[in-house]
């Protein structure tokens, strides 16, 4: 069975986490989705690219989550989430997934 690329897992965690929080009106539940996907992506990043690269990608994932909030005030919530998810997916592909 083919493994889902870490880029897809990470982007899905950002998008899915926001979607779950918005539609259920339970931010904590969205946080669970965000954290679970982040942990799964981090495990893949470490296996594929090593600890330092995984640390950098984890920092990018957290920064994307945090950065989506002020960005949403300028461009709207969904565009901000899709933008940061795309940025994390691109970083993940460039650092880890393309070498796998």
CB 90 within 8 A of CB 12: no
CB 95 within 8 A of CB 87: no
Size of the chain, expressed as the number of residues it contains? 100
How many Å apart are CA 74 and CA 77, to the nearest integer? 9
- Model confidence at 2, pLDDT cuts 50, 70, 90, reads low
User: What is the model's pLDDT at position 4?
Assistant: 94
- In tens, the pLDDT along 11-68 reads 999 999 999 999 999 999 999 999 999 999 999 999 999 999 999 999 999 999 999 9
Alpha-carbon dihedral sign for residues 66, 85, 96, 46:
positive
């Amino acid at each position: 069975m083919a493994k889902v690329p870490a880029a897809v897992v990470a982007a899905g965690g950002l998008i899915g986490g926001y979607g779950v929080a918005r539609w259920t009106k339970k931010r904590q539940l969205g946080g669970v989705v965000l954290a679970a996907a982040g942990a799964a992506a981090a495990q893949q990043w470490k296996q594929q690219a090593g600890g330092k690269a995984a640390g950098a990608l984890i920092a990018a994932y957290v920064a994307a989550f945090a950065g989506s909030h002020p960005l949403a005030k300028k461009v709207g919530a969904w565009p901000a989430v899709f933008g940061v998810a795309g940025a994390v997916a691109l970083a993940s592909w460039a650092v880890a997934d393309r070498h796998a």
